[in-house]
């Protein structure tokens, strides 16, 4: 039930439930968003074209904007000056290898709770906290690669 499915119906539902029309372009973009890891627009343009070669880059930007606006995906803000997108919206942190510019998701509810508790005990005066993200920079040791 808590399946992170990437099946076609799931993808279509995800688009439809955002109040957007289901088009082959959008399906293909969302599929690639789910397959890749924090892809850039440029990467998506290339990848989507492998299956849907006629798609315009402008359309991809349109679609990404619409998805972000409707909360279907998120934007990632890290090193580098091009935008990256994230199809996973669950609360998670990022592992970031600056050298390779590789970003991996890192789920750790315990860490999140611990930091949350820290700020309950030590509130920041003048700042109402809504979201905590931990950016972990370091180096991947080449095994466990995707």
- Residue 40: C-alpha distances to residues 13, 78, 82, 118, 132 (Å): 24, 12, 7, 34, 23
Distance CA 61, CA 58 (A): 5
Taking the least distance from each CB to DNA, the nearer of 24 and 123 is 24
Phi/psi of residue 58, nearest 5 degrees: -60, -40
DSSP code at position 142: S
Residue 123: partners with Cβ closer than 8 Å, 6 or more residues away? 129
Per-residue contact track with its own copies, 38 to 77, x per CB under 8 A?
-------------------------------------x-x
| 132 scored as a contact of its own copies (CB under 8 A) | yes
Residues in region 97-126 near its own copies by CB under 8 A:
104, 106, 108, 110-111, 114-115, 118, 122, 124-126
In the complex, the residues that contact its own copies under the rule CB under 8 A are 75, 77-79, 81, 83, 95, 104, 106, 108, 110-111, 114-115, 118, 122, 124-141, 143-144
């Amino acid at each position: 039930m808590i399946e992170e499915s990437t099946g076609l119906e799931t993808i279509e539902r995800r688009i439809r439930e955002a109040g957007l029309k289901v088009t082959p372009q959008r399906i293909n973009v969302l599929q690639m968003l789910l397959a890749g890891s924090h892809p850039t627009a440029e990467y998506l343009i290339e990848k989507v074209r492998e299956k849907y070669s006629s798609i315009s880059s402008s359309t991809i930007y349109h679609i990404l904007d619409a998805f972000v606006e409707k909360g279907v995906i998120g934007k990632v803000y890290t090193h580098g000056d091009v935008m990256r997108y994230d199809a996973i919206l669950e609360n998670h942190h990022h592992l970031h290898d600056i050298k390779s510019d590789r970003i991996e998701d890192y789920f750790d509810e315990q860490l999140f709770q611990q930091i949350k508790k820290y700020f309950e005990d030590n509130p920041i005066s003048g700042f109402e906290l809504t979201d905590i993200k931990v950016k972990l920079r370091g180096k991947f040791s080449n095994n466990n690669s995707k």
